[in-house]
A and B are shown apart, each in its own frame.
Chain A
Amino acid sequence: MKHPSGNSSPLTARMLGSSSISAKLTRMNLMVSGLVLLLAVVAFFVYDLVSFRHNLIRNLQTSAQIVGTNSVSALLFDDPESATTTLKALRSSPDVVAAKLVDNNGRVFAGFSQPGTKELPPTVPLPPGVSDKIWTNGNRVLLAHQIIFEGKPAGIVYISAQLRETGRRALQYLLIAAVILLFCMGAALLISATARRLIARPVIALAETARRVSRERDYSVRAGPHADQDEIAVLIESFNEMLSQIQNQDRALTRARDNLELRVQERTAALRAANRELEAFSYTVAHDLRGPLDAIQGMVYVLEHLDEEAGEEQPREILEQLRNSTRGMAGLIDDLLNLSRASTVALKKESVDLGAIARLIAEDLQRAEPERQVEFRIADLPPVEADTGLMRIALDNLIRNAWKYTSQHETACIEVGMMRLRGETLYYVRDDGAGFDPSKNDQLFQPFHRLHSRGEFPGTGIGLATVQRILARHGGRIWAEGAVEQGATFWFTVKSASSAVA
């Protein structure tokens, strides 16, 4: 479809395009009604023309028959005046132009013509055996009727007629059709106004909404409601639903983006913290290694500058201190190796008897310091699927801790046991030693964080961190309960609750 405003702005063209739905509807209405009316008029006109001509000709035939019957005696008894009188009765027929009677000899017996006409109908002989015949030429009709009386021909009536009415009727028809067409145009305009309200306007409103959505990227816009339950309502509903989905997806996308940023920030912070921790760790390791090394250097210096008369006692003491220092360094290095191994070594899972390991450790400790009065209560523990070496390191750390922090009490009791809670197996190592400040609970498992001074209890501060990593690698966890001088209980699980159930 071409718009006359071809070079106007695209917006105008678009507006014309949209509003042309109603224009199309109007045009369609007009076309349909006009066509129907035209066909109806033509059909009626043709029907009327045919039936009208038919009726006219029938009337003429009837007239011819009456004239014929009434002229029989005049023909038989040679009375043209009487026949003329009979023919004159045709004067009242508006279509009859002229009429005549022809006797059996082909002689014109009587004639009649309307005022203003002089010609009588032509004498056209009838074929044998035919009593009535009609010739038509446009609106002119010639009718012949053979008069039969007592089974014998008595003469022929000729009537010529002009169907003048036909033309006038055609004019009337056209006039009426034109008036009706005008009415139909008006009706079509009214109907199309209704159609515009019912169909075009919702569609145009929908198009405007769609345009606004695409222009402003505002997915919260909704097309207005539609009163009827038709296809347009379905269209509007689907459109709104589509908008809702787009809006939801848009929202989800925004949320995901925000979450991602938050997560990146969290990760960055965690990385930064880990970095800082690592720096602190390196510093602590260096510092802790440096301490014994300084002591060793100092003692070596003292040994070098010892007097001859220092005797034997002094160097032996110094050597003893030297050994202690190197042992401390070795212990620290072992612990660091354990911590590293706890993180990196490949897990080799097998059935492990935690109780047996605990008893071995307890025996070792008692053998090393037989003077201490410590009671071990080690329960029989069910076998658990774990890495034997790592579990040994973990239990060793926990039990040695308990041994260490009960060292300032004359008698002590160390318990190793388990309990089941909600399908989970909880192990514990409990002592009645120095305990700890519960408010610093979260620092217990950080490397090099010590809650007691080195002078009070020796240690590297790596043990519990190592234990936590080992248990974490097995899918378990560890936490502690305790109070200052009330002892401490370390609870741990080897497998996570969910995997234990599975």
Chain B
Amino acid sequence: MTALALAVTAAMYAASPVNRADAERPSPDLVEAAYLYNFGKFVRWPATAAQGPLVLCVAGQDSVNQILGRLAAGEQIEGRPLQVKLLERIDEAGSCSILYVGSAERRAVDAYLGATAGKPVLTVGEAPDFLVRGGIIQFVLTGSHVRFSVNLDAAHRNSLQLSSELLKVAVSVTGQPRTGGLP
């Protein structure tokens, strides 16, 4: 039984792209990368942007980029193949499905948000004032745990609908929920 349990656990580790190196406390980068990937499962893009590959963009050189590339290789979300892209230029941000603005690009946050404003891009950031500036999801480090906050109004501006399941596990939610939420 124990041998079987070990085998099953090992199989699950192998199958899971999320918590792969989670035997010890995972690094925040790894957690954030996994969260980025998981966010895609709780967001509904408007019909115009719901076709083709789901493009996960990482702004600037960030360690998350590499981890994400590993995680997303060959993965799909709701039938859309996952594609990880390192953004070279800010004006490319409008074509992303999910845009992560890491600490490296903290100063360019406004520019990135400006480039994605009104476009169906889920903006995720690390800056403490990311939501205030108009971002949709902001990572929050509480102790050793990586958590996140949500700005519903920003999501609405970008025509995105966030699942109540996502809101349930958010540290805080700002803005008013609109009708037609995801399951």
The interface of chain A, by Cβ under 8 A from chain B, is 70, 72-74, 76-79, 82, 103-106, 123-128, 149-150, 152-153
Residues of A within 8 A of B172 (CB): none
In chain B, positions 79-112 with a C-beta closer than 8 Å to chain A are none
Question: Would you call B117 an interface residue if the criterion is a C-beta within 8 Å of the partner chain's C-beta atoms?
Answer: no
A105:B169 contact, CB within 8 angstroms: no
A72 and B165 in contact (CB under 8 A), knowing A77-B35, A105-B22, A153-B16?
yes
List the 9 closest pairs (A to B, CB-CB), nearest first: A73-B165, A125-B5, A79-B169, A125-B8, A76-B38, A106-B9, A77-B169, A104-B12, A104-B16
Given contacts A124-B1, A125-B4, A152-B16, 16 further A-B contacts (CB under 8 A): A70-B165, A73-B166, A74-B168, A76-B35, A76-B41, A77-B35, A77-B166, A78-B145, A78-B146, A79-B147, A104-B15, A104-B16, A105-B19, A106-B5, A125-B9, A126-B8
Cβ distance A486 to chain B, nearest Cβ, rounded Å: 152
28 sample A-B contacts, Cβ–Cβ < 8 Å, listed by A number = A73-B42, A74-B168, A74-B169, A76-B34, A76-B38, A77-B38, A77-B148, A78-B31, A78-B145, A79-B169, A82-B169, A103-B19, A104-B12, A104-B18, A105-B23, A106-B5, A106-B9, A123-B5, A124-B1, A125-B1, A126-B8, A127-B8, A128-B11, A150-B77, A152-B15, A152-B16, A153-B12, A153-B16
Question: Would you call B163 an interface residue if the criterion is a C-beta within 8 Å of the partner chain's C-beta atoms?
Answer: yes
A153 vs B19: C-alpha distance when bound (angstroms): 12
A20 vs B163: C-alpha distance when bound (angstroms): 82
A73:B16 contact, CB within 8 angstroms: no
The interface of chain B, by Cβ under 8 A from chain A, is 1, 4-5, 8-9, 11-13, 15-19, 22-23, 31, 34-35, 38, 41-42, 77-78, 145-148, 163, 165-166, 168-169
Residues of B within 8 A of A104 (CB): 12-13, 15-16, 18-19
Of A73, A103, A105, the residue contacting B163 (CB under 8 A) is A73
Cβ distance B10 to chain A, nearest Cβ, rounded Å: 10
Residues of B within 8 A of A70 (CB): 165
A375 vs B22: C-alpha distance when bound (angstroms): 176
A105 and B12 in contact (CB under 8 A), knowing A73-B169, A76-B38?
yes
Of A74, A105, A123, A126, the residue contacting B13 (CB under 8 A) is A105
A150 and B15 in contact (CB under 8 A), knowing A126-B8, A127-B8?
no
Cβ distance A73 to chain B, nearest Cβ, rounded Å: 4
Of chain B, the residue at the smallest CB distance from A71 is B165
Of chain A, the residue at the smallest CB distance from B9 is A106
Residues of B within 8 A of A78 (CB): 31, 145-146
Cβ distance A222 to chain B, nearest Cβ, rounded Å: 89
Residues of B within 8 A of A76 (CB): 18, 34-35, 38, 41, 169
Residues of B within 8 A of A126 (CB): 8
Cβ distance B148 to chain A, nearest Cβ, rounded Å: 7
Cβ distance B38 to chain A, nearest Cβ, rounded Å: 4
A72 vs B168: C-alpha distance when bound (angstroms): 11
Cβ distance A107 to chain B, nearest Cβ, rounded Å: 8
Cβ distance B14 to chain A, nearest Cβ, rounded Å: 10
Residues of A within 8 A of B168 (CB): 73-74, 79, 82
A153 vs B18: C-alpha distance when bound (angstroms): 10
Most central of B5, B23, B168 by chain A CB within 10 Å: B168
A70 vs B183: C-alpha distance when bound (angstroms): 10
Of chain B, the residue at the smallest CB distance from A79 is B169
Residues of A within 8 A of B12 (CB): 104-106, 153
Residues of A within 8 A of B163 (CB): 73
A421 vs B170: C-alpha distance when bound (angstroms): 149
Cβ distance A342 to chain B, nearest Cβ, rounded Å: 137
Of chain A, the residue at the smallest CB distance from B41 is A150
Residues of A within 8 A of B1 (CB): 124-125
A124 vs B5: C-alpha distance when bound (angstroms): 7
Cβ distance B166 to chain A, nearest Cβ, rounded Å: 6
Cβ distance B169 to chain A, nearest Cβ, rounded Å: 4
Residues of B within 8 A of A152 (CB): 15-17
A126 vs B1: C-alpha distance when bound (angstroms): 10
Of chain B, the residue at the smallest CB distance from A86 is B168
Cβ distance A70 to chain B, nearest Cβ, rounded Å: 7
Residues of B within 8 A of A123 (CB): 5
Residues of A within 8 A of B35 (CB): 76-77
Residues of A within 8 A of B5 (CB): 106, 123-125
Residues of B within 8 A of A82 (CB): 168-169
A104 vs B21: C-alpha distance when bound (angstroms): 12
A125 vs B12: C-alpha distance when bound (angstroms): 11
Cβ distance B57 to chain A, nearest Cβ, rounded Å: 21
Cβ distance A411 to chain B, nearest Cβ, rounded Å: 163
Cβ distance A443 to chain B, nearest Cβ, rounded Å: 141
Residues of A within 8 A of B18 (CB): 76, 104
A128 vs B1: C-alpha distance when bound (angstroms): 13
Residues of A within 8 A of B16 (CB): 104, 152-153
A126 vs B4: C-alpha distance when bound (angstroms): 9
